[in-house]
Amino acid sequence: MFKRLIISLFLVLLLFASSKASADNIRTGLGYYKLGEYSKAEATFRNLLQKEPHNNQAKYMLAISLVQQKKFNEAKQYYKDIIVSSNNESLVSLSQKGLSNLGENSALSGNSNVNRAVINVNTAGSVMVVNNVTLNNKLKTSFILDTGASYTTISTATANALGISTQNAQTVRVMTGSGYADAKLVKISKIEVQGISATNVEALVLDLPAHKGDKSDDMAGLLGMSFLDRFKTTINKQRGQVTLERL
């Protein structure tokens, strides 16, 4: 029964494939999946996502390949990513069922109608700290606001708390205050602060000097431009406020 569902899904995925190369990769990966060669299916869909990072069809096929290998936390992350980003009702429904089968609530909607938020921040010299930032509707934490950072960053502890795997993530070399460092490029399904949110936010897993010990709830990292670029951002240091307006 399940294999018949996969074959039917395969036909749907080909219809929505963004290119011939995408369709070919999906076909190849599905072939491995049907043969029970789940690690090869995983590698095929990861390769496709490196070329097309917003390809939700590939994310779903990668998720079910991960489930077959008992890599449940990473599979959950891809299911959630699809739920908050895809317009394909079939894929969203299948991802919700996938999450449910793994014992997790699929509700990730939050308040997506907020287009403007005025956020009070704590300041310490030139540092501005944004509190009560919610990641993937399950982890509330704080970030340092950094308009000079190209990427949002999260600590290793925060990534672990969110179930984000860095095992096959792209490595990015970045300059920090202590010199160059290698960081893993991942995606956070949803970042929300005071009702305004962004989905599929690229982030670097990078431990900063402030990350002492292994607690994930003290300071997650830097809230950088991979999040802030989604909004018109106005900073009023005198009032200790940041205004985000959806573009």
Task: Tell me the pLDDT tens digit for each residue of 24-56.
Answer: 888 899 899 989 999 999 999 999 998 888 788
Asked whether the predicted pLDDT for residue 12 surpasses 80, the reply is no
Cβ proximity of 82 and 93 under 8 Å:
no
Asked whether the predicted pLDDT for residue 212 surpasses 80, the reply is no
Question: What is the number of alpha carbons within 13 Å of residue 65 lying toward its C-beta?
Answer: 25
Phi, psi of 135 (to 5 degrees): -105, 125
Beta carbons within 8 Å of 171's beta carbon, 6+ residues apart: 182, 183, 184, 185
**Structure tokens given for 18:** 């963004």
Q: What is the mean pLDDT of the chain?
A: 83
Residue 106 is predicted with a pLDDT of 57
Q: pTM surpassing 0.85?
A: no
Structural domains present in the chain: 2-101 (1.25.40.10), 116-246 (2.40.70.10)
Q: How far apart are CA 61 and CA 78, in angstroms?
A: 10
Beta carbons within 8 Å of 102's beta carbon, 6+ residues apart: 67, 72, 75, 76, 79
Residue 208 is predicted with a pLDDT of 81
Q: How far apart are CA 121 and CA 191, in angstroms?
A: 17
- Cβ neighbour number for residue 205 with a 10 Å cutoff: 22
pLDDT tier for residue 179 given thresholds of 50, 70 and 90: confident
Q: How far apart are CA 140 and CA 159, in angstroms?
A: 13
DSSP code string of 6-21: HHHHHHHHHHH-SSHH
